[in-house]
Amino acid sequence: MAVVVLAVLLSGLTAAAVRSAAATGLPGTYQNPLSPLDTPDSDVIDVGGTYYSYSTGDYLHNISLMSTTNLASWPQTAADRHFTDAFPCLSGKPPNCSLSLWGSHTSSHAPWAPSVVDVAGTYDLFYAAWDGAVSHYCIGVAKSPSPAGPFKDASLVPLVCQITIGGSIDPSAYLDPAGNLYLTWKNNDGFGSTSPATLWASLLTTGPLGLQLSGPTVSLVTQDQPWETTIENPAMAQLSGQYILFFSGGLWNTSSYAVGYATCQGPLGPCSTPLTTPIFQSAGPVAGPGAPSIFTDTAGTTWMAYDAWSAPKVGYPAGGFRTLRIDPLCLVGTTPVILGPSSTRDTLAPTCPTALAEGYQLVANDGGIFSYQAPFAGSMGGQPLAAPIVGMAAACPSGGGCGYWEVASDGGIFAFGDASFLGSMGGKPLNAPIAGMAALGPSAGVSGYWEVASDGGIFAFGDAGFHGSMGGKPLAKPIVGIAATPDGGGYWEVASDGGIFAFGDAPFNGSMGGKPLAKPVVGIAADCPSGGVCGYWEVASDGGIFAFGDAGFHGSMGGQALVEPIVGIAPTYDGLGYWEVASDGGIFCFGDAPFNGSAGGIPLAAPVVGMAPSRA
């Protein structure tokens, strides 16, 4: 199981502080999925040591409720007495009954995505149900003196129903530290509306007819990233004084379903999304995780509950079920870390990591940047380019992932974050197109970068020194990449036949030049361990890895089936691992390189052409 380091996923049903998981947790172990039962959109709360999970209804339940006093032992069959319906019908029975004077459960419209919060000893269950009068889903609230129900909705009309923009679904309640109650939700239920999916929020107060929206209703986030397709399941929370809005995105019945987040100035925003990629997504047999819910157990360990499919049974036609799962939520400094998604047996008393995992960024040939456990500082995606992007480099990979450069085939440089623009070949005559770039390492203490052309020409900017090149010299095959030594005193050029050309203090340790290759080489990465001899890896388009010098071989995709060809490689900082990236954004990890997510399976406007390591 990969340990995926993520931004925090907080569903924020209460104002309880998020605490780091510690080794003094509950006894015993757990294994995902916790139950084989189909319980989508699960919302988990702890009430005095009893854990309740509320989920979207089915043909026998309006709101499915599971409960347990042992966090690891949830109902395993529908006949279990701890698997019940929390929200009984006013008349009829599921799947054809009335839930209130306005909402109903029909054979094609079950109640969706419940959210439960304790408000002064009364439990409020927010839910979405079909309103036949307007042919859309609307949001209501049912109440009960007990978390086990039965919940009843005595309202004459829905609490929220945005008829003109496709109805309202996926309510999520948030109680702030001062006791103020807020509701977040999504418009567009998918039944006949073309309005973009937007996440909304409002303060709730009690009026003559019960709970009501109070003050302005504000939009927080609108779908705007290729991976999202739509956005839903909003969840507002506060962590160390910072408000964070989490949401699911993508198609719920596919493995591309995932979780993203936005940072907000308050429960009513404004909010902004810092990443262009999801922060929690499919890994191994866990497919399409979504609908996060955060709770703290009786020992003080904080967990993220979520639902997911078990690959390869993704989707109901394939025989799949969206099952309840949990994984620990930690805090490393001020950064949240999710120890998952897991599928093996793990302890209920987890130990949190003491350092953040390394991240990476992908660049597409339209300039789009995809960040995984790495800060997004902008991109050329969606902006006009004179020539396509062919590569990228990190500005300060061991100093906080401060920024990055993109380089185009005409030599144009685009700088983002703390990466400084130090000049470029953009607009200048070139004998051959630029094929890639490299930047000064963090140990150099200065800033600069090199561009390399396909004829081996080198162009140095900033503090990057010129140490020679293959420009003007005969080449058997074109140059496809460059890597630099950490002190900036040298660099290697690599050709598509695997030939290596070393300059400055970069040692020549061998190459694939003149040797048979199944596929052409497409990139190079340097490995210069402290006190060791610099080595390097070559990577071919079929994923084959060729290691030279002190660079260790940690595995490869060579000889394995690929959906799209490999286009680049990036090393971990200790040199004990590396990532390969394919043109569809798929990521393959070897050695100690962690998997933090990928763009594989996500629609892309343009193919990925390279990657760089980073630290958030």
Sheet architecture: strand order including 577-582 = 566-571, 577-582, 587-591
* Superfamily of segment(s) 359-614: YVTN repeat-like/Quinoprotein amine dehydrogenase (2.130.10.10)
Q: Which helix (H) or strand (E) holds 172?
A: strand 168-175
pLDDT per residue as tens digits for the range 396-421: 644 444 689 999 999 999 999 888 99
Peptide linkage before 95 cis (omega within 30 of 0): yes
Burial of 258 (0-12, 13-18, 19+ CB in 10 A): buried
Pick the CATH number of 29-347 from 3.30.1300.10, 2.115.10.20, 3.30.70.20, 3.40.50.1110: 2.115.10.20
Q: What is the arithmetic mean of pLDDT over 60-75?
A: 96
The domain locations on the chain are 29-347, 359-614
Q: Whole-angstrom Cα distance, residue 426 to residue 386?
A: 9
User: Residues 280, 283, 287, 293: is their CA dihedral positive or negative?
Assistant: negative
Q: Whole-angstrom Cα distance, residue 268 to residue 180?
A: 12
Instruction: Enter the pTM of the model.
Output: 0.75
What band does 15 get if pLDDT is binned at 50, 70 and 90? very low
What band does 158 get if pLDDT is binned at 50, 70 and 90? very high
> What local confidence, expressed as pLDDT, does residue 120 receive?
87
pLDDT over 70 percentage in the chain: 92
Hey, which of 104-118, 328-342, 590-604 has the most confident mean pLDDT? Answer: 104-118
Of 232, 234, 257, the closest CA to residue 245 belongs to 234
CB within 8 Å of 445: residues ≥ 6 apart: none
Say yes or no: do domains 29-347 and 359-614 share a fold: no
Separation in Å, CA 569 to CA 15, 272, 366, 546, 600 = 43, 31, 19, 12, 16
pLDDT per residue as tens digits for the range 197-229: 999 999 999 988 889 999 999 999 999 888 899
> What local confidence, expressed as pLDDT, does residue 570 receive?
96
Hey, which of 185-194, 254-263, 490-499 has the most confident mean pLDDT? Answer: 490-499
- Mean model confidence pLDDT for the chain: 90
pLDDT per residue as tens digits for the range 547-560: 999 899 999 999 99
pLDDT at 504 exceeding the cut of 90: yes
Q: Whole-angstrom Cα distance, residue 408 to residue 217?
A: 44
pLDDT per residue as tens digits for the range 423-481: 999 999 999 999 999 998 655 456 899 999 999 999 999 999 999 999 999 999 999 99
